[in-house]
Amino acid sequence: MRQFLANRKILVILFSVITSLSMIAYSIFGQGGMPTPIRWVNDTTAIAARTISRPTNALLGLWDTVEDIKNAYVENQHLKEKIGALQSLQAQNAQLKAENEEMANLLALEPTLVNKTVIAGSVITRTPNNWLDYLTIDLGSNHQVEEGMSVVADSGMVGRIVEVAPNSAKVRLMTTDNPQSMQVSASIQLDGRIVHGIIESYDRANNELIMTQIDRDADIKKGSLVVSNGLGGISPEGLPIGQVVSAKEDEFGLAQQARIKPAADYSDIRKVFVVLESNRNQATGENPEEASAND
């Protein structure tokens, strides 16, 4: 009986070992016996999936690229708008700065305008063809402006009124090509002495006014101040004109000729003062053209 039970235990253990080994073997090698139709279906499905996924992935990548380009374009447009606005602000700031400097220079002229009635105005028209000949300001007869009145810019005298409308006036500049129409009586302030002459023409190549009929014996020094002297009866006395650059005898040896650096910047005139002085012809009845020739 005991022998039978011992043999029975051995048989149970042997059966368990065989069963376990069979299950392990099946788990490792049993899947290789998958039916052929199932393998065909799986292979076909895999090939189809690869065939479809490639163009699909390409389309998705292209769509993402298009979206990126679109977003970049929108951002670029926004940046351009911001840059344009910034440039506009910079231009406005530069213009305001220039106007402020010009106004400061005009205020610096105040001591030279003592006992003179002036009115401030702005340049509204200046054509390229006549840039150094004429300009138009926003003051006219409604502002008591009259022909022959002197016009002062940021640092000195620039010209005279030659035409007047109710709300505008035309200014002939001292740099005009027609010197006979814009002669100005002027004085050079020297140490202990003042000598007189006439601003007769303008050298555009060197940006210098030419002053003639100066006393031959005067010791004229570079940097001497030149102002209007009022002797011609049109331009009032004491308006700054410029500074002496050089002086020499004229071609006849009877007088001196001086070159004057203008006090005003004729290339950039925006704000002006009109000196509201009475014309000589109003006081004496003299013809304006004759007075201009004598001034």
- pLDDT (tens digit, 9 = 90+) per residue, 201-246? 999 999 999 999 999 989 999 999 999 988 877 788 888 999 999 9
Residue 67 banded pLDDT, cuts 50, 70, 90: confident
How far is it, in rounded angstroms, from Cα 53 to Cα 31?
28
Secondary structure letter of residue 236 according to DSSP? P
Please give the pLDDT value at position 150: 92
For the chain, first and last CA: distance in Å? 160
45 lies in a domain?
no
- Among 22-26, 63-67, 91-95, 127-131, name the most confident range: 127-131
Same domain flag for 94 and 154: no
How far is it, in rounded angstroms, from Cα 272 to Cα 158?
9
Domain of 98, in residue numbers: 78-114
Same domain flag for 94 and 218: no
pLDDT at 256 over 80: yes
Per-residue tokens: 287: 């013809």
Q: Which residues have C-beta within 8 Å of that of residue 56, sequence separation ≥ 6?
A: none
Please give the pLDDT value at position 289: 39
- Among 31-35, 68-72, 94-98, name the most confident range: 68-72
Same domain flag for 110 and 121: no
Same domain flag for 87 and 184: no
Please give the pLDDT value at position 39: 57
Same domain flag for 127 and 248: yes
* Half-sphere exposure in the Cβ direction for 151 (13 Å, CA): 33
The vertex-283 CA angle with 287 and 238, nearest 5°, equals 95
Same domain flag for 190 and 254: yes
Q: Which amino acid belongs to residue 75?
A: E
CA dihedral 135, 136, 139, 144 (to 10 degrees): 70
